[in-house]
Every structure is written in structure tokens, then in C-alpha cells.
Chain A
């Protein structure tokens, strides 16, 4: 669910970089030096997990897991996703360099929202709610990413409004997949290593 090079106008790209720089800087300030290895190691695990493809209809989609990143890394999720997007651009030439800013926002802000949602649940836990809230965090992050993608595409001009709607529609089935995988991963971690949540 990334925006590729060539579509967005320079003001939008610059705005994306500025907002990403600001959010990233604020997030990095909240992280302790001792937490850096945890975030780094988790980022590489997430990056590798995003190489998993899941059959969907006639095609297949790869996992993004920004909801799960948010649940596990809280504020660290934003730099983690920024880094993931950067590595994808530099090492695999996925997306691109000038769109790193907007793409980090596209996936990073929903991750922060998922993190907030899951923290709300942790404050008032319900029996068996881990799986449910895992699903909600994963699905909501995907839905928000789809909405942000549609808004960004719509800035490219009237001609792109249909593309924006199609992009958003494509996120609906992915929402279910991301929700289900996140729910399974969260319930697994809840049983195996609850201190991670």
C-alpha cells in the first residue's frame, strides 16, 4: 500500500517529508538508548515478515503489519516504519526515495493509532479481548492507511479520484487479512511472551 514515484506533486512530497521528520524526531526523543536494539531487531523481523505473500482472490498481497508494529513498539513504531520504508526504497527500489516521507506517514500514523487503541484495551482488559483487540488494531491500521492513501492520491488532481476510490476499495479485503494475522500474532504473544504486549 505504498505510493510510487511520479504521481504526487512536489508540495505534497515536501509536506510528507516535513511531517515525517517532525513525527520521527518527536518519536525518537521518547526512546531510551537501551530500547534502540529492541526496535531495530523488531523492525528487521517485521521487514522480513512483510515478504510473506498471502493468496487473495486471483492475486496475492504481502503483509504490512503496521497495526502489529504499533501494538508492540508504541511510539517506536513510527521510526520503525520510516526505516522499513527507507530500506525498501534503497535496497529493493520499492516505492522510491522522494516518496519516503508520505509513505512513512501513510503506514506510520495508523500504527500509532493502533498502538493507542491497544493501550486503551490494556487499561481495561476484558477476558479473551486480546484477540479481538488485536484484530481491531490490525484492521483499523489498514483502513486508516487506505484512507490516507486515497486522500494523498486525490491531491494529485481530479483525474485521480477514481484511482483513489479503487485504492481504498482494494484495502477492504486486505483489512480482514491484516486483522486476522495481527489477532493470531497478538494472541500467540499473549500466551508465549505476555511482557512483549
Chain B
């Protein structure tokens, strides 16, 4: 079972120290700029920018590298299909596939400095400060809390199935068994909801989750880091338009 991790690597870097609200806004701008890139040089620059922020966050590179391999595998079919289907010919097809792949990689890698440099609940509370619906925040925090529990429960059921000689096959029986497993997981989870709500009420829940994290006013450092991210996004857009303009 995959381990749920919201923090990887050392817990100190320029992005760990950055205010989560400023960080989320800054990286949202970066992601938006990366998503609008259409040219290869700008896509390469986006990839470079993602790499720089990743190094800045001091995240051990093996984890993002593993994700990057998955992204490339997922996007690789474009290299096989687009050269044949692109109206501008095979060269343009390869070009577009490369742009997609670099952009996709850059945006996936940017998630690490954006979200893996603060505990999950702090990022979510920061989103609440940025006007995300409090109900959605409650939903998110509760779901997150129960993920590990059900992951462990599913693992127990898997062991039980294996002990009884179950092997997943390409047949109806497999599908029916898995349907029952999911059904029983849902029954167990449903049984917990009533108690969960009562215990929340007992501890004073009235529509808001508290957190021990203190949001302080943005410091000069937060502003300058957010400024850096904004400028980087703008430069990316300018580079993209400049390349488009030059190629006519």
C-alpha cells in the first residue's frame, strides 16, 4: 500500500519557511503560466523553472523522479500518435508531443514545492484563508484523516482473500468478489460516521475545524518570494509570446 505523505525530505528550505498562503498563490501563478505555454523553448524554460523550485525546496530528487517517469509513460503515446495525425506533418506532431510532455512534467514537479513543503492540514487551512468553502475544508480534512484507516482495512481484507486462495483473474467471479469487498468497506465506513459526527460535536465542532498553526501577517521574505514566483511566471509568458512572434 502506498504511504500517504504530505511532507518529504528535510523540513527546512526557502519554501518550507514561506507563508503557505503566499506560497499557494505564487505557485498557482506559476502553474497558470506553465499551462499557457505553447512553444518548445518556453516549455523547456518551464521545466527548468520547475527543477529550480524543486531544488529550492530541497526535496530528495528520487521521489519526484519516480513521478516523472510515470508522467512520461502516461504521455508517451502522444509521441506515437501525434506525428501521424498532426495537420502540420510529422515534425510538428513530434514538436507538439514534446511541448505537452515538458509542460506536463513541469506542472507535476511543481506540485512538490507547492504542497510537499507544509503539512497537509496547513495547506488546506491556508486555502480556507484564501476563501475556499469551509464545508469543503471540513470534508477534505475528514477524508484525509480516514484515508490511512481504510487503506489499512483494505490491506487486511486483501490478506484474508489471499489466505482463502483468491487470485484476481479475468472472470466474473473476480469482479463480484471485489464488488463485495468494496461493499463491506463501505458498510464499515458508514457505521463509523454517526460516532464520528457525535465526537466532533462533543469537541465543539460548529462548522469550523481549528488548527494549532498560527497564520502570521506576511513578512518581507514572503513578499519577496511571492514576487520572485510572479516574475518567473511573467517571464515564461513573455518568452512564449516572443518565440511565437518570431516564428510568425
Interface 0/1 of A1-36, CB less than 8 Å to B: 000111110100100000000001100100101101
- Cβ-defined partner of A97 (8 Å) among B111, B146, B192: B111
Chain B residues, Cβ within 8 Å of A90: 6, 111, 115, 120, 123
User: A25–B133 Cα gap in the complex (Å)?
Assistant: 8
Q: A189 near B143 (CB under 8 angstroms)?
A: no
The answer to whether B112 has its CB under 8 Å from any CB of chain A is yes
Contact A97 B151 (CB under 8 A): no
Question: Number of A interface residues, CB 8 Å?
Answer: 71
Of the stretches A109-117, A121-129, A174-182, the one at the interface is: A174-182
User: Contact: B186 with A72, CB < 8 Å?
Assistant: yes
Per DSSP, are chain B's interface residues mostly helix, strand or loop, or mixed?
A: helix
A189 to chain B, nearest CB (A): 5
Q: Could you tell me the dominant secondary structure of chain A's interface residues?
A: helix
Q: Which residue of chain B lies nearest to A195 when distances are taken between CB atoms in the complex?
A: B190
Instruction: Please indicate which of the listed interface residues B77, B136, B172 has the most CB atoms of chain A within 10 Å of its own CB.
Output: B136
**B35 CB–A CB distance under 8 Å:** yes
Q: How far is the CB of B246 from chain A (nearest CB, A)?
A: 21
Within 8 A of A (CB), among B43-57: none
Question: B197 — which chain A residues lie within 8 A by C-beta?
Answer: 34, 36-37
Contact B4 A184 (CB under 8 A): no
Contacts of B105 in A (CB 8 A): 6
Q: Which residues of chain A are near B96, meaning CB under 8 Å?
A: 159
